[in-house]
């Protein structure tokens, strides 16, 4: 693959795209783990949706 | 599973858990084929040389930047008119994705423009209207964070989104309405595409790959948002129980 005299621009464009997409994927995975962990923690402490509604009532 | 059942967030979550791994796998496969075609098979352009390879990520990013706002606009109607339970979840999940792809469109466009036009940036109709789209995405993200109650935030964001949708036809037709360095529409236009099939086919494969990528990330982000709202509800219940 010959990228010619503007190889730097082409490589920078692809690296930036991979970087941004990787950051999006990483953020979504980390966010999912965080929400799941918090939800499990709350439910373990008896604040499951049904049990919580009973406690509030 | 009937389509109307998807209005129920719990059933939607079950569907997402089933579909997401397969969708991610298909996305990776199509993206691999697209990158192979774009980087190793597609010929250089007779005028632009190898810099045409930037087009294979720039154009799909631009399509997604606009498509994402269109998705948010439909979701805004879902929030304001039909009050669909998942509409504001879909809108909120799409906003950061749209901002990211609009940023990529601007960045890769600049990196393509410098060797071809001699400038990273010019204040013409196409570039400026896409910059406005990016700023609108940032405004939507800021609004989601500013209003604490998700349903109130959703209504405010929905109105802003529908107002911002006016920008979509401006972006699309800016190259026809005003003098610009940016090339006119060459794929999504009346009549046949003006790109040779040896470059058009890899571009379309990359377009499908980016669309699948968006769908995968959007479903995953919607799942996160539903979980976030459950956490919020449980914390409110916890606070009420403790009071």
- Provide Rg for chain B, Cα atoms: 20
Predicted pLDDT at A53? 43
In this predicted structure, what is the pLDDT of residue A6?
84
Of B45, B224, B232, which to mutate for an interface test with A (greatest number of A Cβ within 10 Å)? B224
> CB-based burial of residue A23 (10 Å sphere; 0-12 exposed, 13-18 middle, 19+ buried)?
exposed
| Secondary structure class of B148 (helix, strand, coil) | coil
Higher pLDDT, B85 or B212: B212
pLDDT for the residue numbered A54:
41
Interface membership of B114 toward A (CB under 8 Å): yes
Across chain B, what does the average pLDDT equal? Answer: 90
Distance CA B33, CA B210 (A): 12
- Please identify among residues 17-56 of chain A the ones whose CB lies closer than 8 Å to any CB of chain B: 17, 20-21, 23-25, 27-29, 31-32, 35-36, 38-39, 42-43, 45, 47-49, 52-53, 55-56
E strand or H helix at A12, and its extent? helix A7-44
Q: What is the DSSP letter of B45?
A: B
What are the C-alpha distances in Å from B188 to residues B41, B67, B120, B215? 23, 13, 25, 21
Reported confidence tier of residue B4, pLDDT bands at 50, 70, 90: low
Q: Is B224 within 8 Å of chain A by CB?
A: yes
pLDDT at B96: 97
The average pLDDT across B212-220 equals 97
User: In this predicted structure, what is the pLDDT of residue A46?
Assistant: 78
Kindly report the number of other CB atoms within 10 A of residue A10's CB atom.
Answer: 24
Taking the C-alpha atoms of residue B55 and residue B186, their distance in angstroms, rounded to an integer, is 12
Domains of chain A, by residue range, sit at 19-56
> Do A32 and B213 lie within an 8 Å CB cutoff?
no
Question: Backbone phi, then psi, for B49, in 5-degree steps?
Answer: 65, -145
* pLDDT tens digits, one per residue of B152-161: 899 999 999 9
At residue B192, the 3 state secondary structure works out as coil
Residue B32 to chain A, least CA–CA distance (Å): 13
Q: What are phi and psi of B45, to 5 degrees?
A: -75, 145
As a whole number of angstroms, the distance between CA B47 and CA B79 comes to 48
Q: What is the band of B19 on the pLDDT scale with cuts at 50, 70, 90? A: very high
Question: Can you give the pLDDT at residue A42?
Answer: 86
ipTM: 0.88
Average pLDDT over residues B92-121: 95
Tokens read off for B32: 């691999």
**B43: CB partners within 8 A, 6+ apart:** B198, B199
Q: In the prediction, which pLDDT does B151 show?
A: 86
Q: Which pLDDT score is estimated for B242?
A: 72
Give the highest mean pLDDT range of A19-28, A39-48, B83-92. A19-28
Q: CA–CA separation, B53 vs B202, rounded Å?
A: 10
Is the pLDDT score of B3 beyond 70?
no
pLDDT of residue B90: 95
Contacts of B44 in chain A (CB under 8 A): 4
Q: What is the pLDDT of residues A25-51, one digit of tens each?
A: 999 999 999 999 999 988 888 777 654
Q: Which residue of B has its CA nearest to A21?
A: B100
Which residues 4-33 of B have a C-beta within 8 angstroms of A?
Answer: none
Average pLDDT on B234-239 reads 84
Q: How far is A57 from chain B (nearest CA, A)?
A: 9
Over 50: is that where the pLDDT of B146 sits? yes
The pLDDT, as a whole number, for residue B6 is 66
| Per-domain boundaries in chain B | 3-176+198-242
Using DSSP, state whether B49 is helix, strand or coil: strand
> Looking at residue B241, what is its pLDDT?
76
Measure A40 CA to nearest chain B CA, in Å.
9
Which pLDDT score, from 0 to 100, does residue A50 have?
54
B25-54 mean pLDDT: 92
Does residue A15 belong to the interface with chain B, where contact is any CB pair within 8 Å?
no
């Amino acid at each position: 693959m010959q990228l010619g005299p503007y190889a730097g621009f082409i490589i920078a464009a692809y690296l930036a795209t991979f970087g941004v997409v990787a950051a999006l994927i990483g953020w979504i995975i980390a966010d999912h783990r965080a929400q799941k962990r918090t939800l499990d923690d709350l439910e373990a402490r008896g604040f499951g949706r049904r049990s919580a509604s009973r406690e509030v009532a | 599973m009937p389509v109307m059942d998807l209005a129920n967030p719990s059933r939607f979550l079950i569907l997402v858990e089933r579909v997401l791994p397969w969708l991610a796998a298909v996305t990776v496969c199509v993206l691999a084929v697209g990158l192979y075609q774009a980087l190793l098979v597609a010929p250089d352009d007779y005028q632009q040389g190898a810099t045409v390879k930037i087009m294979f990520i720039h154009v799909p990013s631009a399509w997604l930047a606009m498509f994402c706002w269109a998705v948010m606009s439909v979701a805004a109607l879902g929030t304001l008119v039909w009050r669909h339970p998942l509409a504001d979840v879909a809108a909120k999940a799409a906003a950061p994705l749209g901002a990211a792809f609009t940023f990529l469109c601007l960045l890769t466009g600049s990196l393509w423009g410098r060797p071809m036009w001699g400038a990273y940036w010019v204040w013409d109709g196409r570039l400026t209207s896409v910059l406005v789209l990016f700023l609108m995405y940032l405004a939507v993200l800021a609004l989601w964070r500013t209003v604490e109650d998700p349903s109130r935030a959703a209504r405010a964001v929905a109105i802003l989104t529908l107002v911002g949708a006016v920008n979509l036809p401006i972006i699309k037709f800016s190259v026809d309405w005003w003098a610009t360095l940016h090339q006119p529409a060459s794929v999504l236009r009346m009549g046949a595409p003006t790109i040779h099939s040896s470059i058009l086919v890899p571009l379309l494969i990359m377009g499908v790959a980016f669309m699948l990528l968006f769908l995968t990330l959007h479903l995953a982000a919607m799942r996160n948002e539903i979980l976030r709202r459950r956490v919020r509800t449980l914390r409110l219940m916890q606070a009420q129980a403790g009071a």
